[in-house]
Amino acid sequence: MIDIKWDSKFEIGHPRIDAEHRAFVDLIRAVSLEAERDCPKEKAMRLLLEVRKYAEFHFVSEENIMLDIGYPDYAEHREEHAWLLRRLEDEAHSYYTDSAPLEELAHFMFNWFALHTTTVDKKLVASIAAHEAAAKT
């Protein structure tokens, strides 16, 4: 099992996005724990469905914020979200067909999350802050 837990380095400074990110980390941790327990495939697939649905919700939430502020990198950021959803489907299928272990999927999700939040999402928050500062003037 990988040590998946919330770390302040994942905070981007937007309360709603940070709260959603914490929930996402909790779901990834749950996948990793179930992999360690060698849970039944049906349980794991239901958990992966929950991860996908939560990711879809979170991405729409972030994208709505981007639209609200006229985020210049909206299309690129949205495409990265779409890529992750496609990749999650592919990885879940690989797990379901016994082509890849569940732990590998947990590693992929956590690594993607860590990289995305500390780079791409940090850029978004900088734009949110600039938008809010401009609105105050």
Is 3 inside any structural domain?
A: no
- Please, which pLDDT band fits residue 33 given cuts at 50, 70 and 90? very high
User: pLDDT tens, 53-109?
Assistant: 999 999 999 999 999 999 999 999 999 999 999 999 999 999 999 999 999 999 999
**Residue 42 falls within a domain, yes or no?**
yes
Per the domain annotation, does 25 fall within a domain? yes
- pLDDT at position 1 is 58
> What 3 state SS string does 66-133 have?
HHHHCCCCHHHHHHHHHHHHHHHHHHHHHHHCCCCCHHHHHHHHHHHHHHHHHCHHHHHHHHHHHHHH
Which residues constitute the domain of residue 52? 17-136
Task: For residue 99, tell me if it sits in a domain.
Answer: yes
Residue 2 has pLDDT above 90, yes or no: no
Q: How many domains is the chain built from?
A: 1
pTM, two decimals, is: 0.90
